[in-house]
Amino acid sequence: MRKVYLDYAATSPVDEEVLNEMMKFFNIDFGNPSSLHLWGQKALIGLDSARIKFKELLNAKELKEIIFTSSATESNNFIIKGLVFVWLFKKRKKPHIISTTIEHESIEQTLEELKNLDLIELDLVSPNKDGFIDPKNIENYIKENTLLVSVIYVQNVIGTIQPIKEIAQRLKEINKERKEKGLNEIYFHTDAAQAGLTENLNIQELGVDFLTLSSHKIYGPKGAALVYKRADIEILPLLSGPGQEFGLRSSTENVPAIYGFAKAFEKFYPKRKENNSYLFELKNYFLNEIKKIYPKVQVNGALENSCPKILNLYFPDYLSQEILIKLDLEGIGVSISSACSVRASKPDKIILALGHSQERAQKSIRFSFGLKTTFEELSYVIETLKKIIS
């Protein structure tokens, strides 16, 4: 049976060149990078080279601003909880956090837990019907005790690209006013897990204080991610121990995965213009062909200012699970939600956050494309869909 994978927003395969580069750290230079002998020092060289590469490509100012973790979920927890715990220790009162209703579960549920424990005040900004967050709406929620604003860069279910640079610039201006009043600085974090293949991640141009990046979304291995943290911001570690990662993330570093992560980012991030161009062609072709066989189909979220690898479609006459199962039986992999929540079998919260009905959420499917996706594969998917919906 032919197999076509269209769930690249969930994860991507490890690039063969990246995999080959990683292998020596499994069985040749396999030492613990904290060890002082030859094996450890060779592993440390691999770890350091990865950190240097990320510093250069992200345009960070210092090496210690790059902190390796095991996943984007850990990174998001580390940033939010680390900031909150330092604030609580110093201020002895609850901080206020602003986020959105279209965040990844690792942001949404972390904030909800902290709120339920009565450790923070929380406000969530809703997007417009096209899936975009208006920076002015964020400003409306700012309080004297606002500590953090966290906004996803590329929405993982509908693909909308949020105005991160614009939000950062406005917060910079607000922070100048707050400083004159003796108020704390408001920090800005973006979850950029889906952005590595197609978007600008230059820290100085974006103006963010924290950024999350994931390996397995950009043809690197699972088990590696990072946090960019502005050097002068104090944060409490989630994991305490021997003090790896500048004392901020104790645990023996996963050198093979981190090295592979850096190699994947080095290979694919500089080609984001080419990546965008090819993925846009795939996305437009696929959407136009589906409209021919099923004119009722509708796009969830906007097509403009959206990531070209993600296309979320509403099929008014069909339950998404029904289509997903039939596609799977024909060797085609798609998704009905974020991979982190799909097993819950409930309407996707992102579709609901756009103001759509539960019925629409239950009849929507996410197709996500990769750099090895071909037009021939998409033609096969179209022909299969044609059989299903007829």
AA letter at 384: T
The average pLDDT across 11-38 equals 96
Structure tokens at 331: 């060797």
AA letter at 66: I
Binning pLDDT at 50, 70 and 90, where does residue 344 land? very low
**Stretch (H or E) spanning 167:** helix 164-180
Question: How much is the pLDDT for 390?
Answer: 80
Question: How much is the pLDDT for 340?
Answer: 55
Question: How much is the pLDDT for 338?
Answer: 55
Taking all residues of the chain, what is their mean pLDDT, rounded to a whole number? 96
Is residue 339 pLDDT above 80, yes or no? no
Which domains does the chain show, CATH number per domain? 4-13+272-389 (3.90.1150.10), 16-269 (3.40.640.10)
Is residue 345 pLDDT above 80, yes or no? no
Structure tokens at 206: 């974006």
**Stretch (H or E) spanning 121:** strand 121-125
Binning pLDDT at 50, 70 and 90, where does residue 388 land? very high
Binning pLDDT at 50, 70 and 90, where does residue 348 land? confident
Q: What is the torsion angle, in degrees rounded to the nearest 10, for the CA atoms of residue 133, residue 277, residue 51 and residue 37?
A: 140
Binning pLDDT at 50, 70 and 90, where does residue 347 land? low
Question: How much is the pLDDT for 281?
Answer: 98
**Confidence (pTM):** 0.95
**Helix (H/G/I), strand (E/B), else coil: 36:** coil
In 3D, which of 114, 207, 197, 115 has the Cα closest to residue 156? 197
Residue % of the chain over a pLDDT of 70: 97
Task: Kindly name the residue from 86, 340, 388, 389 that is annotated as catalytic.
Answer: 340
Active site residue 340: yes
Is residue 341 pLDDT above 90, yes or no? no
pLDDT tens profile 259-287 = 999 999 999 999 999 999 999 999 999 99
pLDDT tens profile 140-176 = 999 999 999 999 999 999 999 999 999 999 999 999 9
36-50, 54-68, 324-338, 370-384: the lowest-pLDDT one: 324-338
Query: Do the strands 364-368 and 310-314 form a parallel or antiparallel pair, or are they unpaired?
Result: antiparallel
User: In sequence order, which residues have a C-beta less than 8 Å from that of residue 153 and are 6 or more positions away?
Assistant: 161, 162, 164, 190, 191, 192, 194, 195, 199
The average pLDDT across 223-239 equals 97
**Helix (H/G/I), strand (E/B), else coil: 155:** coil
Residue % of the chain over a pLDDT of 90: 95
The average pLDDT across 194-221 equals 98
CA 268/CA 309 separation, integer angstroms: 14
